[in-house]
């Protein structure tokens, strides 16, 4: 099914279905559930266009999308045996009304069966349909760190402080992690404009003090170079503990799937 997805318009799925790019069993690659056996559901379509996105086949283009019923997805997830089910994309919250209801039914059914549900999102949307249906929100605000100052916010890459504050107020007691992808300069060092943007966002979110903050090196580079980027970001974080980062629940984590498998898909 070959369809391009305008960033502001979700493609509607058939009733009871979700638009899915791929599903697979894996070890969780990011965040507080790092390393946990996870059944991953990659939903198609996104409302942003991040230049460093590692799943453009699901966000920029929906040519690999297929429609699957939420009950079939439930059965697949339960059959996998994984304790966690992660919805990623694309952007899971960027759904039409009917598809969002199907996602909510699926999340509630999985939690009712004893599974933990994680939703990865850019944090621009907080659908009411998912109230009480998610164990862990992984919110990753987006901006273009290759640009300076106010130019970092573009139609393709942006964040909303009001929406982020709402996530923190509602889920900051244990149901939320804030993930910031940090790009690197030509020397392989964390880009200072990215680190400054993270600090500026968090300075405007006093509610975020209760929330794990993850700094993750962008994953366009793997192997030894990616390990070097991880080390450099870790050193920058440690250097900031006597300044901005004092007392924060800060974590510098790799994309574990990059460490283990490089650029291989379905890992």
Confidence of residue 5 (pLDDT cuts 50, 70, 90): low
Where is pLDDT greater, at 257 or 264? 257
Q: What is the mean pLDDT of the chain?
A: 91
Tell which CATH architecture fits domain 17-261: Alpha-Beta Barrel (3.20)
Would you say residue 67 has pLDDT above 60? yes
Among 95-99, 132-136, 170-174, 200-204, the least confident range:
170-174
pLDDT for 266 equals 66
Sequential DSSP letters for 157-191:
B---HHHHHHHHHHHTTTSEEEEEEE-B-TTSPBP
Domain ranges of the chain: 17-261
Instruction: Tell how far CA 261 is from the center of its chain.
Output: 19
- Stretch 120-144: mean pLDDT: 96
Where is pLDDT greater, at 130 or 3? 130
Task: State what percent of residues in the chain have pLDDT above 70.
Answer: 93
Query: Measured between alpha carbons, how far is 112 from 152 in angstroms, rounded to an integer?
Result: 41
pLDDT for 63 equals 86
- Put the strands of the sheet holding 116-121 in their side by side order: 66-69, 17-27, 37-43, 84-88, 116-121, 136-139, 176-182, 213-217, 250-252
Query: Measured between alpha carbons, how far is 133 from 118 in angstroms, rounded to an integer?
Result: 9
pLDDT for 262 equals 67
Q: Which contiguous run of DSSP H or E holds residue 17?
A: strand 17-27
pLDDT for 221 equals 53
Task: State what percent of residues in the chain have pLDDT above 90.
Answer: 71
- Stretch 108-133: mean pLDDT: 97
Residue (of 28, 18, 212, 44) closest to 116 by Cα position: 28
Confidence of residue 196 (pLDDT cuts 50, 70, 90): very high
Query: Is the torsion defined by CA of 33, 40, 30, 26 positive or negative?
Result: positive
Would you say residue 106 has pLDDT above 60? yes
Would you say residue 97 has pLDDT above 60? yes
pLDDT for 6 equals 55
pLDDT for 267 equals 59
């Amino acid at each position: 099914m070959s369809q391009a997805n305008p960033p502001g318009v979700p493609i509607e799925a058939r009733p009871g279905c979700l638009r899915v790019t791929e599903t697979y069993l894996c070890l969780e690659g990011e965040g507080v559930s790092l390393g946990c056996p996870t059944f991953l559901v990659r939903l198609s379509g996104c409302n942003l266009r991040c230049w460093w996105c590692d799943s453009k086949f699901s966000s920029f283009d929906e040519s690999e999308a297929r429609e699957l019923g939420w009950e079939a997805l439930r059965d697949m997830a339960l059959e996998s045996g994984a304790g966690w089910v992660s919805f990623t994309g694309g952007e899971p919250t960027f759904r039409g009304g009917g598809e969002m209801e199907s996602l909510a039914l699926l999340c509630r059914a999985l939690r009712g069966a004893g599974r933990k549900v994680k939703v990865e999102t850019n944090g621009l949307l907080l659908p009411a349909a998912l109230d009480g249906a998610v164990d862990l929100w992984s919110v990753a605000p987006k901006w273009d760190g290759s640009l300076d100052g106010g130019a970092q916010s573009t139609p393709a890459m942006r964040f909303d402080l009001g929406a982020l504050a709402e996530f923190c107020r509602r889920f900051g007691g244990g149901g939320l992690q804030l993930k910031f992808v940090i790009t690197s300069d030509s020397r392989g060092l964390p880009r200072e404009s990215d680190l400054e943007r993270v600090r500026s966002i968090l300075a405007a979110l006093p509610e975020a003090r209760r929330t794990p903050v993850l700094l993750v090196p962008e994953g366009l580079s793997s192997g030894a170079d990616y390990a070097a980027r991880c080390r450099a970001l870790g050193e920058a974080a440690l250097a900031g503990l006597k300044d901005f980062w004092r007392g924060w629940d800060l974590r510098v984590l790799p994309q574990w799937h990059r460490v283990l498998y490089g650029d291989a898909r379905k890992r």
